[in-house]
Copies of this chain bind each other. A is one copy, B any other.
Amino acid sequence: MMKRKGALEGLRVLDLTRVLAGPFCTMMFADMGAEIIKIEQAGTGDDTRQMGPFKNGESAYFMNLNRNKKGVTLNLKNPKGKAIFLDLVKQSDVVIENFRPGTMEKLGLGYEDLKKVNPAIVYAAISGFGHTGRYSQRPGYDIISQAMSGLMSTTGWPGGEPTRTGTAMGDVLGGLSCAIGILAAVFNKIQTGEGQKVDVALVDSAVASLEIINMIYLVEGRIPQRIGNRYESTYPYDSFRGSDGSLVIGAGNDKLWVSLCKVMGKPELAEDPRYLHVPDRVARHEELKAIVEEWSTKLTVDEIYEKVNNAGIPCAPIYNIEQVVHDPHIAGDREMFVEMDHPTAGKLKVTGSHIKLSGTPSGVRTPSPTLGQHNGDVLGELLGLTGEDLKALSEEGAI
């Protein structure tokens, strides 16, 4: 059997996305062997090329999200640039963009236009509020989606402010969701020969992440609040303080509660009728937090972890990023940080692929492209353009 570059070898994607949500989506595809032709605005390129953190003047933000991709420049407002794009569409499986809805239509490159030159094209769009509906023209940064989905309203502490999750989670959820939509549409295209449009909104994606929280309101009419680190459904399932930091313990059922009482040297608590079953313990979560912390604050996090983990109770340290990057399981066994060698930046570590495939492993094979690095390769190979053609196109600002 022939060795494949990855599960998605043979899938060609024209990638017009910038910044985070779109490039995160196509990064996963690139890691899995798809051919990602990243098309950047001639002259300037993806905004994140100017965004930190930097290594030797190169943006690590850009380098991480754009590894394994080919880089081509095109000016879609130039008639020849546009013609080249349409010629590429004829030979591709997927087009993806994350412009403000309507931008591609204004260029004459909306889904209805592209469908005419390639009816099988899968056209994917990521936007703040989606391509339909009354808010579709509103700009939709990550923080907007975290605010309007209800995610911020349920993150944080009683009496405290609504809290943004400490990563661009709306963008990440949008990128993951769009990847699913594209691959489903590709499956459908293989069966039927027909393409379609995939429309993913950051706000919708964040709303979908609140599955159970939404159901509490939809069924009970109760508005879920900020409840710190505990969980609506069971207790003790929360963070607890030690003498030198905190850790999380998930004693989620009655059996684990009994075990925890023994670990704390308070076996009598296990028989206390006030705390016997899950609903009792959820109702008395404040008392129980005080009881557990009366014990835990006398010990270091390492000591607590050892005792609780040895008793078979789920628990974990609360790592900072440095601890994650040096953890022997996460960084070592699971290879979640891998080295990349970039011509300007040199060697640096980037976040590895989290989707582990046994037969066609994902990987970081090539560094992110410099601006227009593969103009010759891609436009030569797919469209037969010569060096002279490229020179002329460049001079008139088409590439």
CA distance A229 to B133 in the complex (A): 28
Are B165 and A155 touching (Cβ within 8 A)? yes
Residue from A9, A215, A217 having most chain B Cβ neighbours under 10 A: A215
Chain B's closest residue to A183 (CB) is: B183
A237: shortest Cβ distance to chain B, in Å? Answer: 6
A89 at the binding interface (Cβ < 8 Å): no
CA distance A54 to B172 in the complex (A): 31
Chain B's closest residue to A8 (CB) is: B184
Question: Which of A77-85, A329-337, A364-372 lies at the interface?
Answer: A329-337
**Which chain A residues (133-173) contact chain B, with CB distance < 8 Å?**
133-135, 138-141, 143-144, 146-157, 160-169, 172-173
A99 at the binding interface (Cβ < 8 Å): no
Are B348 and A218 touching (Cβ within 8 A)? yes
Chain B's closest residue to A205 (CB) is: B354
Would A207 and B354 be within 8 Å (CB), given that A133-B333, A223-B322, A319-B147 are in contact?
A: yes
CA distance A111 to B337 in the complex (A): 27
A41 at the binding interface (Cβ < 8 Å): no
CA distance A10 to B161 in the complex (A): 47
Would A320 and B153 be within 8 Å (CB), given that A176-B176, A224-B166, A330-B148 are in contact?
A: yes
User: Using Cβ atoms and an 8 Å threshold, which residues of chain B touch A187?
Assistant: 7-8, 11, 183, 186-187, 190
User: Using Cβ atoms and an 8 Å threshold, which residues of chain B touch A32?
Assistant: 184
CA distance A190 to B169 in the complex (A): 32
CA distance A198 to B323 in the complex (A): 27
**Which chain A residues (276-312) contact chain B, with CB distance < 8 Å?**
309
Would A191 and B151 be within 8 Å (CB), given that A28-B180, A51-B233, A360-B196 are in contact?
A: no
Are B200 and A355 touching (Cβ within 8 A)? yes
A55 at the binding interface (Cβ < 8 Å): yes
Are A329 and B162 touching (Cβ within 8 A)? no
Interface size counted on chain A using CB atoms at 8 A: 148
A185 at the binding interface (Cβ < 8 Å): yes
Would A133 and B334 be within 8 Å (CB), given that A166-B155, A167-B211 are in contact?
A: yes
Are B323 and A219 touching (Cβ within 8 A)? no
Chain B's closest residue to A198 (CB) is: B357
A4 at the binding interface (Cβ < 8 Å): yes
Question: Which of A243-251, A259-267, A379-387, A389-397 lies at the interface?
Answer: A243-251
Are B167 and A209 touching (Cβ within 8 A)? yes
A356 at the binding interface (Cβ < 8 Å): yes
Would A188 and B53 be within 8 Å (CB), given that A20-B212, A201-B334 are in contact?
A: no
A97 at the binding interface (Cβ < 8 Å): no
Name A358's contact: one of B1, B139, B199 (CB within 8 Å).
B199
CA distance A320 to B350 in the complex (A): 36
Are A350 and B194 touching (Cβ within 8 A)? no
User: Using Cβ atoms and an 8 Å threshold, which residues of chain B touch A198?
Assistant: 355-358
Chain B's closest residue to A180 (CB) is: B179
User: Using Cβ atoms and an 8 Å threshold, which residues of chain B touch A7?
Assistant: 184-185, 187-188, 196
A324 at the binding interface (Cβ < 8 Å): yes
A60 at the binding interface (Cβ < 8 Å): yes
Are B181 and A184 touching (Cβ within 8 A)? no
User: Using Cβ atoms and an 8 Å threshold, which residues of chain B touch A129?
Assistant: 329, 334
21 sampled A-B residue pairs with Cβ under 8 A:
A7-B196, A60-B219, A130-B334, A133-B334, A141-B250, A147-B248, A147-B317, A151-B166, A152-B239, A153-B166, A164-B229, A166-B224, A167-B212, A168-B212, A181-B355, A181-B356, A184-B355, A204-B334, A205-B354, A207-B330, A219-B348
* List of 5 A-B pairs having minimum Cβ-Cβ separation, nearest first: A133-B333, A154-B166, A196-B359, A183-B183, A7-B188
